[in-house]
Amino acid sequence: MRTRGSPGALGAVVASVNVGLRVGQKKTPVAEAVLEEGAGVIGDAHCRTPRQVSLLAYESIEKMVSMGLDVGAGDFAENITTKNVLLHELPVGTRLALGEGPIVEITSIGKACHRRCEIFRKAGHCIMPREGVFAKVIRGGKIRPGDTVRILGRASRR
């Protein structure tokens, strides 16, 4: 569970919050969004689906930028772009506090890429199938860019 920086100014943060109206499309950065317990991001195409919330580390996006692609937050259809936490290294079941309210629990890491997305066609591969993280909303609330991301540990199994 590596993070870059400390809990202070360089700690893990929400870099961008992104919402999209259609599945498989780029998402648009927004000033804030509401996460609903058991549902996902209100107004997003994935709300009330098994993949309630998608997350991607900005560090993963930087890999694609280093290959010459002009991509940024939301371009991988992620709802939440984080910075200073390597999400794909966290185990399934890890809970994350996002700002003062929302708590999400990682349900899967990566996904099968059934259709070759625009990024795959340009670069020959895409990071979302290996480094994208999907989560369910345990506690709802508002989320904004700049909110802290705290790793709470793994959910207890009963």
Eight-state DSSP code of residue 131 = H
Which range has the top average pLDDT, 5-14, 23-32, 113-122, 149-158?
A: 23-32
40-41, strands of its sheet edge to edge: 40-41, 33-36, 141-143
- 47-51, 63-67, 93-97, 141-145, range with the lowest pLDDT: 63-67
Instruction: Express each pLDDT in 4-15 by its tens digit.
Output: 433 333 589 999
Cα of first residue to Cα of last residue in the chain, in angstroms, is 23
The phi and psi torsions of 50 (rounded to 5 degrees) equal: -60, -30
Q: The domain 13-153 belongs to what CATH superfamily? A: PK beta-barrel domain-like (2.40.33.20)
Q: The tokens 């996460």 sit on which residue?
A: 35
Q: Tell me the pLDDT tens digit for each residue of 133-142.
A: 999 999 999 9
Share of the chain above pLDDT 70, in %: 80
pTM for the whole structure = 0.85
Domains in the chain: boundaries: 13-153
Higher pLDDT pick, 33 / 130: 33
Q: By the 8 A CB rule, do 105 and 138 touch?
A: yes
- What mean pLDDT, rounded, does the chain reach? 85
